[in-house]
Amino acid sequence: MILTSRRQAFIAITAGLFSWAGIQTPAQALDAPQGRVILTITGKIGETNAERQAQFDLAMLEALPQHSFVTQTPWENGSIKFTGPLLRDVLAAVKAQGTQLKATALNDYRIVIPVDDDRRFDIVLAHRMNDQLIPVRTRGPLFIIYPFDSRKELRSNTYYERSIWQLKSLDID
């Protein structure tokens, strides 16, 4: 727990540095969403902008530092470029303090992601595939994606299962 706190403190500082450097970041206190809410975070979080939950619209996610990588997936033929904030930046933004994430999709698919994954891999909360916003029809609007091509150990069922699409909410536990 102490370690986790430290890491989060580090992330917070990093985020702070980014903001100080003038990179586009949200204000420290979580703003209320302006557009349609596409992600709801509940559970052990330190920042909220609604009743015991943090709500995000696309603009809020786009305001976080963006990250891209190209990888293959079992669901598509060929490689795809995924773009979005790192999961850990999103969690830092809400001051999450749990050990696992219960991720739920629009179709009620639920999977548990250990927070540890977030430390070991650069997991992206993608809102763009090949630079295009992702409609629900092509498994949008949010897609948790692991950099499968960067590590061999990632190309296993465990991580394919955790790559949840049509993400709706995260519950920090």
34 lies in the site for another protein, by CB under 8 A: no
CB 143 within 8 A of CB 160: no
36 or 52: CB nearest another protein? 36
Under rule CB under 8 A, which residues in 42-61 are in contact with another protein?
Answer: none
Q: Per CB under 8 A, which region of 2-10, 68-76, 95-103, 143-151 contacts another protein? A: 68-76
Q: Would you count residue 136 as binding another protein (CB under 8 A)?
A: yes
Identify which of 117, 85, 93, 101 has the alpha carbon closest to the alpha carbon of residue 29.
Answer: 93
- The residue from 139, 142, 167, 171 that contacts another protein (CB under 8 A) is 139
> What letter would DSSP give residue 150?
G
Does 10 bind another protein (CB under 8 A)? Our answer is no
The C-alpha atoms of residue 80 and residue 35 are separated, in whole angstroms, by 27
Q: Rule CB under 8 A: which residues touch another protein? A: 74-77, 106-107, 135-139, 157, 160, 166
